[in-house]
């Protein structure tokens, strides 16, 4: 064997090892998901058998049918979509403005305010839960999707992401715009916003994933079953022991996570870019 | 069209004095080049005129108006940036149209004007492209078009050619000058650190160093009457030779004593004592054999630049560059030289200001 061939062989072995390791971990992480997917097409009797079986026999759609027979299920989907829509719209609108102001405008106290905002990231959600509850209660918005959405309509990490993105844009473009007759507001709509599409995409995707799967917030701020979002609704159905078998719940969670999975597959380049944006120069 | 007047303009960034008490008038329709090394405050000066920076002290006048407090959007200056700063999300058409749109010019008129300017600059076929699909030279033209379309009174350019390759640069240099000075006759302030660009384009050049204006004058004045050693060495290539020494009067002759050698100076040099002697490599007489008044020099190396070649001659720590005649071969090791009498400069040894020449 020549040294060159040897080198090539070693490289090939390394690639094989890398793949084996990565595939093993991917399988470990994917296992619960695959198990759920398979089990959702099984009868409860088969799904609970030990040792576990991997091929649905008989293959059944009964679990999904039960789910959709549930009266409130479509309603929960609608509520979740409304909630996620409000959160995404609010974040895109407000955090782009705030990020722009922090990155591009000069005003007294800007950096102090920004540091104060950032320090909010260190405060756990549970600390502000009670005051938030009281505020929403006083506003008469308990048990109301809009009241719940009000709490998440802007978000410090989104503001941070937008700010970093705006800071990474070339200064000269904004100066050119200024000389072309753009005040700060026109520059926001004509220059900053169109250039910020990747960052806005990242904010939208993160916020959608977060709000679609949100559990604690909706659990606390929503009361009546017809106002529930999907995650709360499914657990509610589970707590009331509507079923003695788990397979419909598995089917329900799969249906609930479908949009987020699809979204992730379609938009993961934005998610990655979002990470690059925040990690990039600032 | 307007003149620009800077009165005692100073700009400080914290402790850094970027521009120090600058007084400069750019006449109506004049092509003024701000020339100086990196960090000397050229861009800062330009940005203060545009309104992107506010002077710490002093006044800036455009036309008959004091503009210190006037927003950049209302100054009617246009600027071309070194990076061109085109809007990447807009087409070429959108880019050129943008200033008109911001000025609320009606749509029909906007289209007409954009087409005119594009025609004028020869970029009509590019109107539907995005900036990322253009070459450097094309982007440059688009940036020019965007600046020209709103017919500014003052045109500001910050090293607009430095991102282009040498060949296009030479061509654009000529085109820009023709366009701005001869066709539009617009007041232009052009920043560069390239002395060749300055010499070939400027009506007048303002040389700056460390925030301080060194000299203002026509290219000829800057080249033949440099006011101090900085200007003398910054303009011209290779740079002017500067030799420190002493001027002595001996039997009705004026002698410059450089330690290692001495030279006879013209009789009208009225200065005595320590001084700096300057002469350009091109302004030297050469002899192959020993000759009265000539200085012997050992050639350390020869630089061949096509027709011209320059010899490096050393005396201790002092290195002198002299142009060698074309017929001198490259294997020559010794030369006798003497600066042309009417082309020597003498600078004060302390202030470095020109005192003779
Ligand atoms: N925004 C700023 N903050 C702090 N210092 C600055 C700022 N802008 C410029 N300076 C400083 O002011 C001085 C002049 O800078 P300027 O950009 O005007 O130089 P220049 O002549 O254009 O140089 P170059 O040829 O490198 O572009 C430099 O020392 C620079 O570091
Ligand atoms: Mg500069």
Q: Would the CB atoms of B85 and A182 count as touching at under 8 Å?
A: no
Task: For residue B281, give the H/E element and its range.
Answer: none
Closest by Cβ to B85, choosing from A175, A182, A194? A175
Q: Would the CB atoms of B85 and A172 count as touching at under 8 Å?
A: yes
Instruction: Please report, to the nearest 10 degrees, the dihedral formed by the alpha carbons of residues B133, B138, B139, B143 taken in order.
Output: -140
For ligand 1, atom 30, name the residue with the nearest CA. B39
What would the DSSP string read from start to end of B128-150?
TS-GGGS-HHHHHHHHHHHHHTT
Contacts of A181 in chain B (CB under 8 A): 73, 99, 102-103
Residue A248: left if φ>0, alpha if ψ -120 to 50, beta else—which one?
A: alpha
- Tell me the mean pLDDT in the region B83-94: 94
Using DSSP's 3-state secondary structure scheme, residue B32 falls into strand
Sequence-separated (6 or more) residues with CB below 8 Å from residue A80: A212, A229, A230, A231, A256
Cα–Cα dist A216/A141, whole Å: 17
Is the CB of residue A132 less than 8 Å from the CB of residue A151? yes
Is the CB of residue B338 less than 8 Å from the CB of residue B285? yes
Cα–Cα dist A9/A11, whole Å: 5
Question: Ligand 1 centre from A42 Cα, in Å?
Answer: 71
Output the pLDDT for position A98. Answer: 96
Q: At what angle do helices A145-152 and A73-104 cross, to 10 degrees?
A: 30
Burial of A230 from C-beta contacts in 10 A (0-12 / 13-18 / 19+): buried
Angle of CA points B320, B323, B329, to nearest 5°? 110
Output the pLDDT for position B259. Answer: 87
Contacts of A178 in chain B (CB under 8 A): 52, 72-73
Whether the predicted pLDDT of B35 surpasses 80: yes
- Tell me the mean pLDDT in the region B88-94: 95
Backbone angles phi, psi at B4, to 5 degrees: -125, 135
Output the pLDDT for position A238. Answer: 65
Mutation choice for B interface testing from A104, A170, A176 by most B CBs within 10 A: A176
- Domain B241-356, what architecture? Beta Barrel (2.40)
Could you identify the residue written with the tokens 């009265």?
A: B292
Highest averaged pLDDT of the listed ranges A229-233, B147-151, B178-182, B219-223: B219-223
Query: Edge-to-edge strand order for the sheet containing B204-209?
Result: B77-80, B154-158, B187-192, B31-35, B204-209, B212-217
Output the pLDDT for position A260. Answer: 83
For ligand 1, atom 26, name the residue with the nearest CA. B38
Task: For residue B185, give the H/E element and its range.
Answer: none
pTM recorded for the entire structure: 0.81
**The CATH fold of domain B4-234:** Rossmann fold (3.40.50)
Sequence-separated (6 or more) residues with CB below 8 Å from residue A194: B89
Cα B217 vs. chain centroid, distance in angstroms?
A: 11
Output the pLDDT for position A279. Answer: 47
Cα–Cα dist B187/B183, whole Å: 12
Q: Half-sphere exposure of residue B56, counting CA atoms within 13 Å on the CB side?
A: 14
Using DSSP's 3-state secondary structure scheme, residue A184 falls into helix
How much is the mean pLDDT over chain B? 92
Which residues, judged by CB distance below 6 Å to any ligand atom, belong to the binding site of ligand 1?
A: B 13, 16, 18, 36, 38-44, 193
Output the pLDDT for position B282. Answer: 94
Cα–Cα dist B56/B275, whole Å: 37
Task: List C-alpha distances in Å: A83 to A144, A162, A210, B319.
Answer: 10, 22, 11, 78
- Single out the residue of B311, B242, B319 nearest to residue B277, CA to CA: B242
Cα–Cα dist A282/A17, whole Å: 37
Question: Ligand 2 centre from A121 Cα, in Å?
Answer: 39
Nearest ligand to residue B20 Cα? 1
Using DSSP's 3-state secondary structure scheme, residue B23 falls into strand
The more confident residue out of B220 and A1 is: B220
Tens digit of each residue's pLDDT (9 = 90 or more) over B205-214: 999 999 999 9
- Tell me the mean pLDDT in the region B290-317: 88
Cα–Cα dist B147/B30, whole Å: 18
- Single out the residue of B94, B22, B84 nearest to residue B53, CA to CA: B22
Output the pLDDT for position B14. Answer: 93
Cα–Cα dist B136/B169, whole Å: 10
Kindly give the confidence (pLDDT) of every residue in chain A, 282 residues in length, as a single tens digit, with 9 standing for 90 and above.
Answer: 788 889 999 999 999 999 999 999 999 999 998 998 998 998 888 888 888 888 888 888 888 888 888 888 889 999 999 999 999 999 999 999 999 999 999 999 999 999 999 999 898 888 888 999 999 999 999 999 999 999 999 999 999 999 999 999 999 999 999 999 999 999 999 999 999 988 998 899 889 989 998 989 999 999 998 999 988 888 887 665 555 667 888 888 888 888 888 888 887 776 666 666 554 333
Q: Fill in the DSSP letter of residue B239.
A: P
Whether the predicted pLDDT of B77 surpasses 80: yes
Output the pLDDT for position A249. Answer: 81
Report the residue among B10, B11, B13 best suited for mutation to probe ligand 1: largest number of ligand atoms under 8 A from its CB: B13
Whether the predicted pLDDT of B226 surpasses 90: yes
Token pair for B3: 């003149």
Output the pLDDT for position B212. Answer: 96
Q: Would the CB atoms of A176 and B79 count as touching at under 8 Å?
A: yes
Output the pLDDT for position A282. Answer: 30
Output the pLDDT for position B246. Answer: 93
Q: Would the CB atoms of B72 and A179 count as touching at under 8 Å?
A: yes
First and final C-alpha spacing in chain A: 51
Q: At what angle do helices A247-279 and A230-239 cross, to 10 degrees?
A: 150
Q: Would the CB atoms of A195 and B102 count as touching at under 8 Å?
A: no
Tens digit of each residue's pLDDT (9 = 90 or more) over B124-175: 999 999 999 999 889 999 999 999 998 899 999 999 988 888 888 888 898 8
Is the CB of residue A150 less than 8 Å from the CB of residue A191? no
Could you identify the residue written with the tokens 């071309």?
A: B80
């Amino acid at each position: 064997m020549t040294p060159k061939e040897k080198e090539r062989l070693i490289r090939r072995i390394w690639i094989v090892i890398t793949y084996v390791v990565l595939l093993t971990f991917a399988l470990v992480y994917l296992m619960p998901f695959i198990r759920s997917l398979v089990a959702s097409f099984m009868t409860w009797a088969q799904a609970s058998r030990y040792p576990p079986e991997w091929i649905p026999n008989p293959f059944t759609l009964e679990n999904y049918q039960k789910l959709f027979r549930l009266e409130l299920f479509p309603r929960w989907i609608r509520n979740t979509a409304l909630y996620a829509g409000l959160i995404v719209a609010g974040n895109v609108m407000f955090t782009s403005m705030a990020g722009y102001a922090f990155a591009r405008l000069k005003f007294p106290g800007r950096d102090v305010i920004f540091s104060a905002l950032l320090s909010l990231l260190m405060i756990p959600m549970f600390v502000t839960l009670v005051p938030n509850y009281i505020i929403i209660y006083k506003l008469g918005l308990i048990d109301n999707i809009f009241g719940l959405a009000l709490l998440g309509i802007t978000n410090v990490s989104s503001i941070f992401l937008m700010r970093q993105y705006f800071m990474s844009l070339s200064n000269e473009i904004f100066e050119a715009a200024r000389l072309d007759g753009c005040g700060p507001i026109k520059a926001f709509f004509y220059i900053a916003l169109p250039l910020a599409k990747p960052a806005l995409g990242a904010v939208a995707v993160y916020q959608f994933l977060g709000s679609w799967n949100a559990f604690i917030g909706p659990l606390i701020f929503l009361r009546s079953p017809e106002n529930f979002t999907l995650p709360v609704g499914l657990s509610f159905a589970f707590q009331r022991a509507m079923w003695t078998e788990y397979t419909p719940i598995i089917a329900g969670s799969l249906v609930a996570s479908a949009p987020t999975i699809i979204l992730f597959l379609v938009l993961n380049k934005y998610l990655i870019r979002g990470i690059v944006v925040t990690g990039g120069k600032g | 069209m307007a003149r620009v007047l800077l009165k005692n303009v100073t700009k400080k960034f914290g402790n850094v004095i970027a521009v120090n008490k600058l007084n400069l008038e750019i006449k109506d329709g004049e092509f003024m080049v701000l020339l100086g090394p990196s960090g000397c405050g050229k861009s800062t000066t330009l940005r203060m005129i545009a309104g992107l920076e506010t002077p710490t002290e002093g006044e800036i006048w455009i036309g008959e108006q004091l503009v210190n407090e006037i927003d950049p959007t209302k100054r009617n200056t246009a600027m071309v940036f070194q990076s061109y700063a085109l809007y990447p999300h807009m087409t070429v058409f959108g880019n050129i149209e943008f200033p008109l749109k911001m000025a609320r010019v009606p749509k029909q008129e906007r289209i007409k004007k954009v087409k005119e300017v594009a025609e004028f600059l020869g970029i009509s076929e590019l109107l539907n492209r995005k900036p990322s699909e253009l070459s450097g030279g094309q982007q440059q033209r688009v940036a020019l078009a965007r600046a020209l379309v709103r017919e500014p009174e003052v045109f500001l350019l910050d090293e607009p050619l430095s991102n282009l390759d040498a060949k296009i640069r030479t061509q654009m240099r000529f085109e820009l000058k023709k366009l701005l000075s001869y066709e539009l006759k617009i007041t232009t302030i052009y920043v560069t650190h390239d002395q060749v660009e300055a010499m070939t384009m400027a009506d007048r050049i303002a040389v700056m160093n460390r925030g301080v204006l060194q000299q203002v004058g026509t290219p000829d004045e800057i080249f033949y009457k440099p006011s101090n050693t900085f200007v003398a060495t910054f303009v011209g290539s290779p740079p002017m030779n500067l030799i420190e020494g002493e001027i002595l009067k001996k039997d009705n002759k004026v002698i410059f004593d450089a330690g290692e050698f001495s030279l006879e100076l013209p009789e009208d040099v009225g200065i005595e004592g320590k001084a700096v002697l300057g002469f350009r490599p091109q302004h030297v007489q050469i002899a192959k054999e020993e000759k009265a008044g000539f200085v012997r020099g050992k050639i350390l190396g020869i630089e061949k630049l096509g027709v011209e070649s320059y010899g490096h001659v050393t005396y201790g720590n002092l290195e002198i560059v002299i142009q060698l005649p074309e017929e001198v071969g490259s294997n020559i090791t010794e030369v006798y030289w003497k600066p042309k009498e009417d082309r020597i400069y003498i600078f004060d040894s302390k202030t470095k200001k020109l005192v003779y020449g």
